[in-house]
Amino acid sequence: MKAIKSCVNKECNSYIHKMKYKDEYVYCPFCGEKLFYVCADCWMPLDHSTEKFCPDCQKKRTDKKEENQQKMMDKSVKAAKAVGTVAAVVGGVVKNGKDIIKIVKK
Protein backbone atom coordinates (compact mmCIF):
# COMPACT_ATOMS: atom_id res chain seq x y z
CA MET A 1 0.00 0.00 0.00
CA LYS A 2 1.22 3.46 -0.84
CA ALA A 3 1.65 6.29 1.63
CA ILE A 4 -0.44 9.44 1.62
CA LYS A 5 1.29 12.68 0.77
CA SER A 6 0.37 15.65 2.87
CA CYS A 7 1.53 18.75 4.68
CA VAL A 8 3.01 18.23 8.14
CA ASN A 9 2.91 21.88 9.18
CA LYS A 10 0.57 21.77 12.17
CA GLU A 11 -0.52 25.37 11.64
CA CYS A 12 -1.52 24.66 8.05
CA ASN A 13 -5.05 24.00 6.78
CA SER A 14 -3.76 21.00 4.82
CA TYR A 15 -2.59 19.41 8.03
CA ILE A 16 -5.66 20.38 10.06
CA HIS A 17 -8.05 19.05 7.41
CA LYS A 18 -5.77 16.11 6.60
CA MET A 19 -5.70 16.94 2.91
CA LYS A 20 -4.06 14.47 0.58
CA TYR A 21 -1.89 15.47 -2.34
CA LYS A 22 -0.85 13.70 -5.49
CA ASP A 23 2.77 12.71 -6.01
CA GLU A 24 3.18 15.60 -8.45
CA TYR A 25 2.85 18.06 -5.59
CA VAL A 26 6.13 18.85 -3.89
CA TYR A 27 5.16 21.89 -1.85
CA CYS A 28 1.99 22.67 0.04
CA PRO A 29 -0.24 25.12 -1.90
CA PHE A 30 -1.38 26.65 1.42
CA CYS A 31 1.79 27.25 3.41
CA GLY A 32 4.55 26.49 0.92
CA GLU A 33 6.17 23.86 3.16
CA LYS A 34 7.54 20.72 1.61
CA LEU A 35 5.01 17.91 1.50
CA PHE A 36 5.77 14.62 3.19
CA TYR A 37 4.47 11.11 2.97
CA VAL A 38 2.52 10.64 6.15
CA CYS A 39 1.05 7.79 8.14
CA ALA A 40 -2.66 7.42 7.34
CA ASP A 41 -3.36 6.95 11.02
CA CYS A 42 -1.25 9.27 13.16
CA TRP A 43 -0.25 11.63 10.31
CA MET A 44 3.41 11.52 11.24
CA PRO A 45 5.90 12.02 8.40
CA LEU A 46 7.24 8.76 7.01
CA ASP A 47 10.75 8.11 5.76
CA HIS A 48 9.35 5.97 2.97
CA SER A 49 6.38 6.08 0.59
CA THR A 50 5.64 2.41 0.19
CA GLU A 51 3.61 1.76 3.34
CA LYS A 52 0.37 3.47 4.24
CA PHE A 53 1.13 3.43 7.97
CA CYS A 54 4.14 4.12 10.13
CA PRO A 55 5.71 1.07 11.82
CA ASP A 56 3.92 1.88 15.10
CA CYS A 57 0.45 2.10 13.57
CA GLN A 58 1.19 -0.88 11.34
CA LYS A 59 1.99 -2.88 14.45
CA LYS A 60 -1.08 -1.60 16.27
CA ARG A 61 -3.24 -2.65 13.35
CA THR A 62 -1.72 -6.13 13.16
CA ASP A 63 -2.11 -6.53 16.93
CA LYS A 64 -5.75 -5.49 16.69
CA LYS A 65 -6.32 -7.94 13.87
CA GLU A 66 -4.79 -10.76 15.90
CA GLU A 67 -6.81 -9.69 18.94
CA ASN A 68 -10.01 -9.81 16.90
CA GLN A 69 -9.09 -13.22 15.54
CA GLN A 70 -8.45 -14.38 19.10
CA LYS A 71 -11.86 -13.02 20.15
CA MET A 72 -13.50 -14.87 17.28
CA MET A 73 -11.75 -18.06 18.36
CA ASP A 74 -12.89 -17.58 21.96
CA LYS A 75 -16.43 -17.04 20.76
CA SER A 76 -16.47 -20.20 18.69
CA VAL A 77 -14.95 -22.18 21.57
CA LYS A 78 -17.63 -20.83 23.90
CA ALA A 79 -20.29 -21.66 21.33
CA ALA A 80 -18.91 -25.17 20.97
CA LYS A 81 -18.89 -25.56 24.75
CA ALA A 82 -22.49 -24.33 24.94
CA VAL A 83 -23.51 -26.86 22.31
CA GLY A 84 -21.66 -29.54 24.28
CA THR A 85 -23.61 -28.62 27.42
CA VAL A 86 -26.91 -28.83 25.57
CA ALA A 87 -25.94 -32.23 24.16
CA ALA A 88 -25.02 -33.43 27.66
CA VAL A 89 -28.35 -32.25 29.02
CA VAL A 90 -30.23 -33.95 26.18
CA GLY A 91 -28.20 -37.11 26.78
CA GLY A 92 -29.11 -37.00 30.46
CA VAL A 93 -32.78 -36.69 29.66
CA VAL A 94 -32.64 -39.66 27.29
CA LYS A 95 -30.84 -41.72 29.91
CA ASN A 96 -33.42 -40.83 32.53
CA GLY A 97 -36.12 -41.65 30.03
CA LYS A 98 -34.70 -45.15 29.58
CA ASP A 99 -34.55 -45.57 33.35
CA ILE A 100 -38.19 -44.53 33.56
CA ILE A 101 -39.06 -47.14 30.93
CA LYS A 102 -37.16 -49.77 32.89
CA ILE A 103 -39.04 -48.80 36.04
CA VAL A 104 -42.35 -48.95 34.18
CA LYS A 105 -41.50 -52.42 32.74
CA LYS A 106 -40.80 -53.74 36.20
Residues forming contacts to Zn ion in the complex (CB under 5 A) are 7, 9, 12, 14, 28, 30-31, 33, 39, 41-42, 54, 57
CA nearest neighbour of 55 among 39, 35, 36: 39
Distance CA 64, CA 78 (A): 21
Integer-rounded Cα radius of gyration of the chain: 30
Compute the least distance from the CB of residue 68 to Zn ion, in Å: 19
- What's the closest the beta carbon of residue 71 comes to Zn ion, in angstroms? 24
Measured from the CB atom, the residue of 9 and 36 that comes closer to Zn ion is: 9
State the minimum distance, in angstroms, from the CB of residue 10 to Zn ion. 9
Amino acid at 35: L
